[in-house]
Chain A
């Protein structure tokens, strides 16, 4: 090898198609080997790929199949179960609780996304101007809320919103049980509370990346603060906001523990969003197969969001 800088200068401009030609300075030997397939690569990939196939991809496929069987958690159908065709699907389509559950899921998601993004963006903007001590204090509190494990967040929100809790006491209605009266609202608020820190950090980083001279140029043109925000800041943040929205959707759907700790889907199915309903059918009503089918409906929902997410994140990089 001539000099150590050689491979770098060649790799830097076109790392993707380096094998196409254009490697005159490098003598034949090691660098070319890299482009050839090595069997050792399989050994490096194997542990991850085996795990992902056996415990991730196969279960997803298996869940799809289970949704069309009569498998039960206990009883005779736990041992002897078989394919039952579209019977479960018929049940699902006429299942009032499922229909409600889909609605609750959508309301929960939309409420969470709007709350998280609006408050997260507001915080990120405010932090740019506010005094340093206040910025650190408020930012720290929001981030601590975001870091809390689901059970801790769920417990403290349960305590704060149940009869005699902090919110009731402060609002002068110590005996009103907010969690029981407005369960979906409170659960959504708790979710917003526990996700906002993430949006605040991501959007804050994006805000700091906006070149200052653009804003100053707008300043000299006598743009008002609102104009500057809607005409410059928001358009520049668009792709970051889209990514954040999709991540918040997925994270909220996965925030099973928070809702389970607070309400377990109740009272009377009022917070029974799809992940909880799937669990309830499978492990409380013993209908493993039907629970799997409800899960499949959730897969469909997530697949739609997931495809959008992959497209967006590919467009950005």
Chain B
């Protein structure tokens, strides 16, 4: 094996130089590639099928649970964005926005301290934070409900605060990894100039770790925006409900408007799509965001 390695390594390296970095050699056999293409196409169609209803029904005047050639209309989208529906989307924006702001600011400060400062028991602390990011929300809502109901906090903003806490562990971890990668001598130079910690955070480390902070903020927004269980339990006032809960109002009605449900579901997904597109521009591949539990 060692002999083979020694012999083959230069050959393979040369090979790589001559050819452009395409697929590995033997995988390029024509039959194999055709099969791969067909299989991938089948998977694509299977994954696309469940989405079909969403798209067709959202533009259909006579939408039902079934799938049919739509009688095109824009009414469903107009309905989904009017009156109490619009209110619920605004609630969602407030809920996710406040949660993101709290989690990202607190998370960035803690991440900086954990990355650069000497902290007693730093190892166990980081491990604890990592462990928390895996705790499912389902077990937290009952005690938090009891705490919040005792002090009369069952409303939108306290709900945001709790959502911030649930995304905080992973945000700390994510931002810390980015700050770790920022060279220390930049910061040393600023410190030589007697810059305060606040200055270093906002003018030196902050901008350099911005992709990480941005990614963490997007993660926080996406999880809060999509959260369902937490607002279901922690918000009692129907006028404060976010869109994820308001959708049940559509079904509860005596006269179910399928087209509106589809349009609203689609609209509710749009901000997520946009943010993931943004995050994949921040750094290649958006999957870094998905390391923790989605609410």
Nearest B residue to A257 via CB reads: B228
B90 to chain A, nearest CB (A): 17
Is A306 part of the binding interface, using a Cβ–Cβ cutoff of 8 Å?
A: yes
B220 to chain A, nearest CB (A): 13
Instruction: Tell me whether A156 and B134 are in contact in the complex, defined as CB-CB below 8 angstroms, given that A45-B109, A165-B67 are known contacts.
Output: no
Is the beta-carbon distance between B8 and A220 smaller than 8 angstroms? yes
Q: How far is the CA of A301 from the CA of B261 in the complex (A)?
A: 35
The one of B9, B41, B65, B168 that contacts A52, using a Cβ cutoff of 8 Å: B168
Of residues B24, B116, B161, which shows the largest number of chain A Cβ atoms within 10 Å of its Cβ? B24
Instruction: Tell me whether A55 and B43 are in contact in the complex, defined as CB-CB below 8 angstroms, given that A48-B172, A306-B131 are known contacts.
Output: no
- Taking CB atoms, residues of chain B closer than 8 Å to A305 are 134
Q: Report the interface size class on chain A.
A: 35 or more
A122 to chain B, nearest CB (A): 7
Q: How far is the CA of A148 from the CA of B13 in the complex (A)?
A: 42
Is the beta-carbon distance between B37 and A44 smaller than 8 angstroms? no
Nearest B residue to A131 via CB reads: B37
Is the beta-carbon distance between A63 and B142 smaller than 8 angstroms? yes
Instruction: Tell me whether A148 and B269 are in contact in the complex, defined as CB-CB below 8 angstroms, given that A30-B191, A166-B50, A250-B136 are known contacts.
Output: yes
B9 to chain A, nearest CB (A): 6
- Taking CB atoms, residues of chain B closer than 8 Å to A44 are 109-110, 112-113, 117, 197
Is B294 part of the binding interface, using a Cβ–Cβ cutoff of 8 Å?
A: yes
Is B229 part of the binding interface, using a Cβ–Cβ cutoff of 8 Å?
A: yes
Q: How far is the CA of A108 from the CA of B100 in the complex (A)?
A: 31
Is A66 part of the binding interface, using a Cβ–Cβ cutoff of 8 Å?
A: yes
Is the beta-carbon distance between A157 and B12 smaller than 8 angstroms? no
Is B204 part of the binding interface, using a Cβ–Cβ cutoff of 8 Å?
A: no
Is the beta-carbon distance between B268 and A152 smaller than 8 angstroms? yes
Is the beta-carbon distance between B197 and A40 smaller than 8 angstroms? yes
Within 8 A of A (CB), among B119-139: 119-120, 127, 129-132, 134-139
- Taking CB atoms, residues of chain B closer than 8 Å to A274 are 138
Is the beta-carbon distance between B147 and A62 smaller than 8 angstroms? yes
Is B49 part of the binding interface, using a Cβ–Cβ cutoff of 8 Å?
A: yes
Nearest A residue to B16 via CB reads: A212
Nearest B residue to A283 via CB reads: B233
Is B287 part of the binding interface, using a Cβ–Cβ cutoff of 8 Å?
A: yes
Is B146 part of the binding interface, using a Cβ–Cβ cutoff of 8 Å?
A: yes
Is the beta-carbon distance between A310 and B184 smaller than 8 angstroms? no
Instruction: Tell me whether A193 and B47 are in contact in the complex, defined as CB-CB below 8 angstroms, given that A144-B273, A151-B268, A166-B67 are known contacts.
Output: yes
- Taking CB atoms, residues of chain B closer than 8 Å to A30 are 188, 191-192
Of residues A4, A51, A143, A198, which shows the largest number of chain B Cβ atoms within 10 Å of its Cβ? A51
Q: How far is the CA of A298 from the CA of B134 in the complex (A)?
A: 12
Chain B proximity mask over A45-86: 1 for CB below 8 Å, otherwise 0: 101110110011111101100100001000000000000000
Q: How far is the CA of A256 from the CA of B273 in the complex (A)?
A: 21
B55 to chain A, nearest CB (A): 9
Nearest A residue to B165 via CB reads: A55
Is A138 part of the binding interface, using a Cβ–Cβ cutoff of 8 Å?
A: yes
- Taking CB atoms, residues of chain B closer than 8 Å to A141 are 44, 47-48, 51
Q: How far is the CA of A202 from the CA of B290 in the complex (A)?
A: 10
Nearest B residue to A47 via CB reads: B106
A35 to chain B, nearest CB (A): 6
Q: How far is the CA of A151 from the CA of B88 in the complex (A)?
A: 14
Instruction: Tell me whether A1 and B188 are in contact in the complex, defined as CB-CB below 8 angstroms, given that A254-B137, A295-B138 are known contacts.
Output: yes
A115 to chain B, nearest CB (A): 12
Is the beta-carbon distance between A302 and B39 smaller than 8 angstroms? no
Q: How far is the CA of A148 from the CA of B275 in the complex (A)?
A: 12
Is B244 part of the binding interface, using a Cβ–Cβ cutoff of 8 Å?
A: yes
Q: How far is the CA of A95 from the CA of B107 in the complex (A)?
A: 42
Nearest A residue to B191 via CB reads: A30
Is the beta-carbon distance between B228 and A151 smaller than 8 angstroms? yes
Q: How far is the CA of A81 from the CA of B189 in the complex (A)?
A: 60
- Taking CB atoms, residues of chain B closer than 8 Å to A275 are 136, 138, 229
- Taking CB atoms, residues of chain A closer than 8 Å to B119 are 37, 41, 45
Nearest B residue to A296 via CB reads: B139
Chain B proximity mask over A1-40: 1 for CB below 8 Å, otherwise 0: 1001101100100000000000000000011001111101
Is the beta-carbon distance between B65 and A164 smaller than 8 angstroms? yes
Is the beta-carbon distance between B26 and A254 smaller than 8 angstroms? no
Within 8 A of A (CB), among B239-253: 243-244, 247
15 interchain pairs (CB within 8 A)? A4-B185, A7-B184, A45-B114, A52-B129, A122-B39, A134-B41, A149-B268, A160-B50, A166-B53, A216-B8, A217-B5, A247-B291, A254-B293, A256-B229, A279-B141
- Besides A162-B65, A250-B293, A261-B228, 7 new A-B residue pairs in contact (Cβ under 8 A), listed by A number: A35-B118, A36-B118, A56-B169, A143-B276, A166-B49, A216-B8, A288-B145
**B interface residue numbers (CB < 8 A to A):** 4-5, 8-9, 12-13, 15-16, 23-28, 32-33, 36-37, 39-41, 43-44, 47-54, 57, 64-67, 102, 105-107, 109-110, 112-114, 116-120, 127, 129-132, 134-147, 161-162, 164-166, 168-169, 172, 183-185, 188-189, 191-192, 197, 225-229, 232-233, 243-244, 247, 258, 261-262, 265-266, 268-269, 272-273, 276, 285-287, 290-291, 293-295
